[in-house]
Structure 1
């Protein structure tokens, strides 16, 4: 870690502390200010030399005054000391909820007389065993409380301190919470329903003895094939920089692939920009469930510490993550980002049946990952780079289903039974990805491609000719697109100034294989809150003010009036611009019994592939595997390894067992 601080590097604890201290010292924030996030102002910072002070923005609240501000500032560097730039008023209702704020309201609510009385009706007398998760209320604010900073609560009960509370919902009980005063304003009580009678624990040995599993060890005797210099990573022909923000968590900057002696750019920036999770159940303790987990809470503070042998295997490089907590202190998440290589089956193969010779190359990939624990759910985000120039994003959904109680003898109308008196509502997960493209340079265009049967019989006498139709997306109003596997729809992100040897624009192909549609009624709160989930791809011309697809402050925001559907009204041209594409990856989750009491990882994602970007297969220089002379033709004398590590599975003694616990996270969805 020798490199001097680069503009895109994650903020350091020292930078966070110095700026937060300047803000906290201002009299307008009061004696107990609350903070929500700090981030580098990337559009200004990009031009800075390493080691300079960096422009940042943060959000601070004075809960006692019902006031909030966005503050611009500079961190210290070779060229300056830390300083405040300016203050802008923010609607006090709308900043995201910090982990500290969530814990404070949870602790206050469970001892409130209204809650205590309601729990006593259900035979719950020890409130120390109760959890109350403050949930986002956007769109469901009671009319008489519309000006207050609000939340509503889901209530859970544990039979013991180590019980899985998310297995025992307290049905029918809905507190309305004031986040500023930490008060329970009122309670909806929809009647007493029997509690879950069955344990929801998932620890080793709970449901019988563990099965026998043969050891499987990953070894790299020559060390990893990547190199790390500060936050700059190089691997095989790839180079990129690791970033991290409060709202998005892991960010990748300046992805480039070395082609011969030239580093050719692919993406300027890549991140998970937002996550929307609507629940599709009219049950009184479920119908309000719909969350912008990033915009209303933040991926950064929800990031979990990763453990070697549990989350990542092999030769690992970890990056710590640093966030601003709700009290204005810098908080370090140890091992928040994992970097490692994986064997990934066959890269390419052919058997010459005439000579009996076979050529095969094994693929490996470089994986950059982080996990966010959002109360009951856990989400893993895995960016993978491949030797042939491909890029993949895989999202792994695991953790615990968000469940509701159900009365004896009833079956759920809008979900599935997972345990006695416990139902799991049908719901959806949408992940809005932000890709600032730079395919072979800064100026790109978006082209949609689909398949059609050739109807001209003169051109298609046998009925089997299929043509691929390309449509350039000229303006933003046309750039709300729908994925359609039945027509082989995909998109090309083309450079508008460079062509390959066949005269085609150099490009990368984007495919989104995992999609769904929102099944809520048009005009419903759920549909109006996140209009961007109606399409699978959006595109805009780069604007530094347009940072988040759901808008800057989606918490208790006016429904559907901000974010990408508003930006596109400008209808800016998209051909030959600094292009931003916004893929929407989605899954419709109809729960099943096998996902209880903890959910095996479900995987969804997207893929970027070179499409006329290279002259030919860029992985022809990958050497045969060591010790594989029997399954490939002799390698040319000049063939050499592009990386020093070799990934082997061995039967070494099993590693010491590990228990991987998520770090302290806020209590919400």
Structure 2
């Protein structure tokens, strides 16, 4: 969904519990002249770029900004200590103009500078939290809005929230050319009330996001918002239950090291980056196999999120968002707290972001690094001898959380001792609801409260994996299971074979998952082989998928063509950065993105391969998810498939039994 307009105000962030303790403290970042190119920009680097932008007359007296990030393609081979190339998006709302600006931060080799100013359609940069607050205030002050609120019994506009929502595909023709948003309106009975529990039914303002003029107020019938409480704070629903303490300790400290943003754990190493649009990014993922440091991934990120709502209600049918491309994950990243979000021996990384007014701020504890026990890794009991062997599993977890208005999303990359990498996405927060008349059936959703329904909707996460399995150039195959059709080779009818279909070019690179055929994908090296003579590889498994339940030709269907498949494959190109395209906000539906790039039909055999997996979930709401939703988990997995010659975790020590009657080895 959209940016919450009451999100963290500008100014110092509150202290984060546990963040000051040296044992769990954040790492002291290196100076800008020591930074590796993959590391997040520092506040000082952002400030010097913004200062140069402000010095240019073309941005006017009241510029707005939508992020500064490292230009990764130009930075890929830079050594630490040098200035870094950057891209920034800046707008002049008074002139209805916007630009993508390239430049350099300062370094040992150069002062900070700007290079190119490329005009961008002024409607298309994403919406910042600061613009969201200004839009909401304009709505609260508008006489027409106040009258519409009064018709619903709401006389104190200060208790009203307005979230600016993406209008892409639903722009009224009479406002063509304007940078627009429509507002989802919510009411609180008190300052500490859960506003997302009280939708203002039937009321939709449409606002010019450059002038903040309220252009139109749609009123589809006044109804008083629900009076049922929707709070979820401690003590609201009776006394808290008793819970015994559960402590996670590592007396000798964590089993990983952090050097700047380079993390090493067991045989894994990787670098942690951060961007305005994607939030946390992983770079240069490697595995130390004996005395060989082997590459696995060049880059991994949650590249886009698409959330379509499947309800014709006048306050819901326009809800379909690119939460990253139309708002940005970086500024929406939450500060994490020890004992609350993370348990154990924790290390944190901060991240600097740029707000809509051009002011840098630091998200403290933006990224959490910790180890977790992961139950049994492998086990066998020799019943003939009575000997038992077991190894416990632990994993290295790197995570961040983004709060996108009502929803909260956690992204957990885990590295395992058997060479597996998986991504777990945790969906929680508050469902987006609409008002419903008493006694009316919730045909396109589910009643979750008095006069409140949660609409059917979906969440799609477009991932980006730049593969580097044993080298920079890889190839891709799709694997499926089938009954062996040759009767001579299948005399008993039970012979199954795994069939590999090479994906040779981009024209073949849009793939569909099918659990009934055990479909998965294999990324193979063009250089490395294992002891059996097979190319070394990694297997991609996507257990969480859904199809789009929208009519062909609908706005929802045309806006995000990438959700029609579960995997896309392309050859790396510097300007093909985001699965939904560079500037999806208010753009022609489907004009850019992976489905367009695929038409170039470049070879994928021995390419710098970029995979775009799509993880999806269809959300059929439940009353038990109200007024706040317990975590729902989905994800994907990368596991070695011929990358190693045998189980790589055979060197793990046996655990010590806690009691004499136990046996571990």
TM above 0.5, one fold? yes
Aligned to 1:73: 103
Structure 1 residue 412 displacement after superposition:
1.1
* Distance (whole Å) between structure 2 residues aligned to residue 491 and residue 432 of structure 1: 17
Aligned to 2:271: 241
* Distance (whole Å) between structure 2 residues aligned to residue 424 and residue 511 of structure 1: 31
Structure 1 residue 626 displacement after superposition:
3.3
Give the match's secondary structure for 2:331.
helix
CA contact (8 A) 2:276 2:329 kept: yes
**1:558 aligned onto 2:622:** no
Aligned to 2:25: none
Aligned to 2:650: 620
**1:129 aligned onto 2:159:** yes
Aligned to 1:473: 503
Q: After the TM superposition, which residues 155-554 of structure 1 pair with which residues of structure 2 at under 5 Å, given as runs?
A: 155-554=185-584
Aligned to 2:5: none
Write out per-residue CA displacement over residues 348-386 of structure 1, whole angstroms, 9 at most, x where no aligned residue. Answer: 000010111100000000000000000100000000000
The 4+ residue runs of structure 1 with deviation greater than 3 A are 626-634
Give the match's secondary structure for 2:88.
strand
Q: After the TM superposition, which residues 581-660 of structure 1 pair with which residues of structure 2 at under 5 Å, given as runs?
A: 581-627=611-657, 631-632=662-663
Aligned to 2:24: none
Aligned to 1:87: 117
CA contact (8 A) 1:347 1:363 kept: yes
* Distance (whole Å) between structure 2 residues aligned to residue 30 and residue 24 of structure 1: 8
* Distance (whole Å) between structure 2 residues aligned to residue 435 and residue 621 of structure 1: 29
Give the match's secondary structure for 1:132.
strand
CA contact (8 A) 2:64 2:356 kept: yes
Change in 2 beyond 3 A, CA 1:2/1:207: closer
CA contact (8 A) 1:193 1:406 kept: no
* Distance (whole Å) between structure 2 residues aligned to residue 68 and residue 366 of structure 1: 42
Count of residues paired in the alignment:
634
CA contact (8 A) 2:654 2:664 kept: no
User: Higher mean Cα deviation, 189-198 or 20-29?
Assistant: 189-198
CA contact (8 A) 2:186 2:199 kept: yes
CA contact (8 A) 2:476 2:524 kept: yes
**1:151 aligned onto 2:174:** no
With structure 1 as the length reference, what TM-score do the two structures score? 0.94
* Distance (whole Å) between structure 1 residues aligned to residue 223 and residue 469 of structure 2: 57
**1:7 aligned onto 2:37:** yes
Give the match's secondary structure for 1:219.
coil
Structure 1 residue 197 displacement after superposition:
2.1
Give the match's secondary structure for 1:52.
coil
Aligned to 1:37: 67
CA contact (8 A) 1:52 1:78 kept: yes
Structure 1 residue 497 displacement after superposition:
2.1
Give the match's secondary structure for 2:549.
coil
Give the match's secondary structure for 1:267.
strand
Query: Given the alignment, which residue of 116, 139, 158 partners 1:109?
Result: 139
Q: Which runs of 5+ in 2 are unaligned?
A: 1-27
Write out per-residue CA displacement over residues 302-343 of structure 1, whole angstroms, 9 at most, x where no aligned residue. Answer: 000000000000000000011111111111100000000000
Query: Given the alignment, which residue of 91, 100, 104 partners 2:130?
Result: 100
Structure 1 residue 630 displacement after superposition:
5.6
Structure 1 residue 540 displacement after superposition:
0.2
Write out per-residue CA displacement over residues 278-318 of structure 1, whole angstroms, 9 at most, x where no aligned residue. Answer: 00000111000000000000000000000000000000000
User: Higher mean Cα deviation, 187-196 or 259-268?
Assistant: 187-196
Q: Which runs of 5+ in 1 are unaligned?
A: 635-669
Structure 1 residue 627 displacement after superposition:
4.1
* Distance (whole Å) between structure 1 residues aligned to residue 29 and residue 400 of structure 2: 23
Give the match's secondary structure for 1:21.
helix
Aligned to 1:660: none
CA contact (8 A) 2:656 2:664 kept: no
Give the match's secondary structure for 1:64.
coil
CA contact (8 A) 1:624 1:632 kept: no
Structure 1 residue 25 displacement after superposition:
1.3
CA contact (8 A) 1:585 1:605 kept: yes
* Distance (whole Å) between structure 2 residues aligned to residue 289 and residue 159 of structure 1: 25
CA contact (8 A) 2:561 2:590 kept: yes
* Distance (whole Å) between structure 2 residues aligned to residue 546 and residue 530 of structure 1: 16
Give the match's secondary structure for 2:248.
strand
Structure 1 residue 503 displacement after superposition:
1.4
CA contact (8 A) 2:153 2:224 kept: no
Aligned to 1:646: none
Aligned to 1:656: none
* Distance (whole Å) between structure 2 residues aligned to residue 22 and residue 472 of structure 1: 49
Change in 2 beyond 3 A, CA 1:131/1:2: closer
* Distance (whole Å) between structure 1 residues aligned to residue 537 and residue 498 of structure 2: 16
Give the match's secondary structure for 2:94.
helix
CA contact (8 A) 1:256 1:263 kept: yes
* Distance (whole Å) between structure 1 residues aligned to residue 507 and residue 313 of structure 2: 37
**1:63 aligned onto 2:93:** yes
Write out per-residue CA displacement over residues 248-273 of structure 1, whole angstroms, 9 at most, x where no aligned residue. Answer: 00000000000001110000000000
CA contact (8 A) 1:433 1:583 kept: yes
With structure 2 as the length reference, what TM-score do the two structures score? 0.94
Two-structure CA RMSD over aligned residues (Å): 1.0
Give the match's secondary structure for 2:193.
coil
User: Higher mean Cα deviation, 215-224 or 621-630?
Assistant: 621-630
Query: Given the alignment, which residue of 568, 571, 580 partners 2:610?
Result: 580
Change in 2 beyond 3 A, CA 1:607/1:176: same
* Distance (whole Å) between structure 2 residues aligned to residue 394 and residue 114 of structure 1: 45
* Distance (whole Å) between structure 1 residues aligned to residue 482 and residue 624 of structure 2: 41
Change in 2 beyond 3 A, CA 1:626/1:9: same
Structure 1 residue 194 displacement after superposition:
3.3
Give the match's secondary structure for 1:299.
coil
Structure 1 residue 631 displacement after superposition:
4.7
